[in-house]
Amino acid sequence: MISQLFQLLIYQPLFNALIFIYSLLPNLGLSVIILTGLIKLLTLPLNAKAFRLQQIMAGIQSELKSVQKKYKDNPEKQAQAVSEIFKREKVSPLGPIVPILIQLPVLIALYQLFWHGLWSQENHVYSFISKPEVISPLFLGIDLSQPNVILAVLAGIAQLVQTLMLPNALKKNKDSGDMKEKMSAALQKQMIYLFPILTVFILLKLPSALGLYWLATSVFSVWQQYALNKPTLKK
């Protein structure tokens, strides 16, 4: 039942949207980029909300750490004080993650679409959409049905740039001498560079259409985060 709903409500609309774009502009690479842009536009309210929540969470980190130090021997009082801070700021610890989780089914559908959907004989083209006889996988001399190291590396670099633009990404913890907090900060910095590297290795084994989508998503996200950051930068 869940699988059928997923196919009906998410996978098929995305599949047909890509086919429709390709029928108007018979270039798979450009079609992938346009579809990515449309998805980012539709999910802009969610992404903007997640970004604002991330800014709020970054802004209260020092206050949270002060509370944790003050009540380190009283977990109950500590939990109460932290809860009051979240209540005052009208956020929850999972707040920035929820909008991302909502978009997860879209990411899974796109993964399936680029992994095998376009190249298999099975399809879900709506009757009112013109079905192309052949979908050429070539884009700028790259076969999007095969892995490509250039797109994989560019996608990893773009993801790194996007991550570095997040609030508090590389903020130094100057006021803390706590070894546990220093180790946590060091691990966080390692993760910033580790995930783009993992992305490159993963995309090296997948059709480069996924790499192009990942690259386009990161580029659109960088532009989006820059636009959302502008009011903050002007202050």
Q: Are 21 and 31 in contact (CB under 8 A)?
A: yes
> Which of 94, 117, 103, 111 is CA-nearest to residue 221?
103
Query: Measured between alpha carbons, how far is 162 from 24 in angstroms, rounded to an integer?
Result: 31
- What are the tens digits of pLDDT across the range 196-205? 899 899 899 8
E runs forming strands in 85-156: 138-139, 142-143
pLDDT at 185: 61
Q: Is pLDDT at 21 greater than 90 in this prediction?
A: yes
pTM of the complete model: 0.77
Q: Are 34 and 21 in contact (CB under 8 A)?
A: yes
